[in-house]
Structure 1
Amino acid sequence: MGSRRLKRRTGFLFQVAWLRVDTQTILTIANHVITKNHRIGVTHSEHKTWLLHIRDVRESDRGNYMCQINTDPMKSQIGYLEVVVPPDILDYPTSTDMVVREGSNVTLRCEATGSPTPNITWRREDGELINLGNNQEVASIDGPVFNITKVNRLQMGAYLCIASNGVPPTVSKRIMLVVHFTPMIWIQNQLVGAQEGQQMTLECHSEAFPKSINYWTRENNVIIANGEKYEPSFSDNVYKVHMKLMIRSVAMSDYGSYKCISKNSLGETDGSIKLYHIPTPTTEPTTTSTLPVPTTVDLVENIQWSRQKPMPSLEPSSNEITDASLSTVVRSEETRFRGRPSHEENHEAENVIDTNSHKSVDNDIGQRRIDNTAQSMSSKSSTWHCVTRSSAAICIIVLSALS
């Protein structure tokens, strides 16, 4: 702010003064500092521009300041000084590290000062989502108070109370929430089988806080130590422990029950695993049998057997072989080969075979025998039908010759 050097008619100069409005305190008049505050100073440029200086500004310096010229009437101008303050977390009202039992209610508080008033945000230090229960998870919680109902082991960890108001730097405070609970053991396979000489590893999963003491025992409650036969191992992560027991070479004496035990100041629990014997498989020699290959004679006999038992028909047709015709044909054939047919036999044979065509039939027997044999070898029917009675007689003669 500035003012011109004015001259009254009386010859006096007008003077510039700085005042604190809220306290009505005169700070400077012309080149002189009136207040006893050593942080206050004043300068001017050719008596036209007057500057008020405040060193090492504090929050208490916030307020209205007036530049005044003692004219008649008086002239003045007011300016407001805003002092911003970065956030600062107050130790006393802010929660410290907490240790609670699982299932209890927890309240975390965070108080901060600053100008403007800081905003408070809660986050997990490990970057994981905040578990609110009822399958609800959020990245952050806003507000100075963070309530947890029925806290569980999943909510255990370090939380950050972050205060920010746009004025750097942003500040935070780390609050560790520790949840105590009795040990719990989870076993994936409670019944495990192994063969003799096999390497086997038994496994248990334990959860406990404060951290538990973990070990393995046999049926006689003797603690299993690390040695040539057994190798127990434990790997932990916060409140979780993965317990393993490796049996380098299983013997008959190793079968039975094993216990994994977890114990802390709040309680003790154990889990049981039973190791049972799996017999070692034995290799038996395999035998190979060779089936006999049927000969041509056997095949023909089988075909003849199927031909000798035709499917019964209700009414014999003129083209089928009947019992009467069969006996007649056989007798006629026997007579023809012997060369001494009787009168009655010739008469019966004439009923089946025409004497006028007897020579042509004999000439065709060789060819028909081959054709009919091939047909009997390939046919799968249980009955045999022929075209005429003479053809039926020839078919039967072929079968008799083959047998």
Structure 2
Amino acid sequence: MTDMELLKHLMLLLFSAQVITGGFVTLTSPGQYAVLGTEVSFTCTVVNASVGGLILISRNDSQSFQTVCRVEASSGGQISGTEEFICSAVAGQTSTYSLTIRNVSRNDSTVWTCQAGGMTSNRVTLDVQYPPTVEIHTVTPCSGFTFLVSESNVALNCSVKGANPAPASFTWYHEDATLQNGPSPIYTINSVNRSTGGQYRCTADNGISPPGEDDVTVYVHYPPTVHVGDTKRVVTESEDLTLQCTADAIPEVTSVVWTKKVVGRRISENGTLRLRDIHKDDAGIYVCKATNKVTSCSEGPQTKHSHASVTLEVQYSPTVEIHAVTPCSGFTFRINESNVALNCSVKGANPAPTSFSWYHKDVSLQDGPSPIYTISRVTRSSGGWYRCTADNGIHPPGEHGVQVDVHYTADDLYAKPQTKEKRNLNVLVTGKKGCPLAPEKLFRKKLNEQPLSHLWRHSAEAFEAEKRQMRTARVSIPPEPLDTFSVACPHSRLEPDRTLPGEDLEEAQQCAAELSQAYHPSLAYMNRLIHSMHRRCNGAATLLYGPHGGPLKLHALHSLRGMAVTRYQ
């Protein structure tokens, strides 16, 4: 049947429909509600009347009724409808017609009526129930699902977009682990941490299966966590060291930079710091800074920095310097001074030295923890090269040396502490002209009209033999009135009036040098004495010494007739 033929047929049935007074039409449904997607049927019954024409079943769409299915009253056949709506006469029942909705939709949840023979039935409301449709949203002020570590009270809302009836229960899951179940659609994350990230799912249940469900992925951003390994490194000077800095971050770091604290300038850009031939000035705190860009749910994108530091300790051998201990201010000491101290002062060392060694002319003096070496009494032999070493276990030990000079006068050298009855003087025995007395002239002098040689315990021959063996000869004189004396640097071949040539002066100076080794007098003093004698006299110097190298006593010299006495204080 074509559409035109159908239209003509409907018009014919419509105009032929009978209206019976006293009759009525009823519309019934099987229950109070229908579940979305199920099948439901309405029954339209004409009571107390016999009608012809069409039976119309309509639903209210947007404030007006629209016919969804038509049945020919006489034949009970469906005149119009769709696969969704099927209508027909109910077999075995007079004037009873049915409408079957094969797949109930939410649009079917409305008011329905039936018309027959110009009569309209009662209105029946069909309640179509369906499960919730939900969608997860973040709660203000958050605007997305990216959170920052340590943010607090971040909330997710299982928002219901549609449901009939309304959901009575909501269940939250995180990675399939149940978090919360109850009437509230809100789940609150009290404090965001790294484990907060992942898939979140909520279900909403209103008794209509299946429950409404939605899921989202939550991302957690966090600033870099910087790893530098051991936070303290100990190396020995001149060694190499590599410091490695890594960072754990989401999103990944954009830069990893090493700097040295205080200095502040960048010394490495890639997380690896290589220190070559380390010097003690390289010691200090090295800081690694990592940077990334994170997103906060409430504040949006922002840049974050994190730091970690390494303290570098450089161990190195000591640097020492010898100082004289107060009240001394230099390294020139006076003979017979007591408790003169030298300090092996540490100018720099790491670790501190535990042992100090002192040497004098490469002879070990002292080893131990004290840096102080004390000269209890300064003697002529105290002078010379002093060296100290400081050992802290780092090779080589620190070392420093100084030259110590000992100053003294002739009195300091030869005068011995004696009683008042034996006071000594430095003396020079000269002839009548004030010039040194040559040894052979001294032999011919007489004491109490006796040759001097007769008073010596050694004969003149023995003395002469001894002179040939030694540059300095010592002879004994009777103890009273003379004491033991020595003749130093005799030049027997020179006459008193003879001019002293240059080579003889050189010989006299050499003799003085040899004397300085034997008696340790001041070489400068001896040279001054030789030059003085050379200016005054044409002879060699003859010096007389008393017991133990001390000067001859004055009263003993007075016993030598014809001699003048010159004092050298």
Question: TM exceeds 0.5?
Answer: no
When the two structures are superposed, what TM-score results if normalisation uses the length of structure 2? 0.31
Which gives a bigger RCO, structure 1 or 2 (Cα 8 Å, sep 6+)? 1
When the two structures are superposed, what TM-score results if normalisation uses the length of structure 1? 0.40
Bigger CA radius of gyration: 2
- Structure with the larger helix share: 1
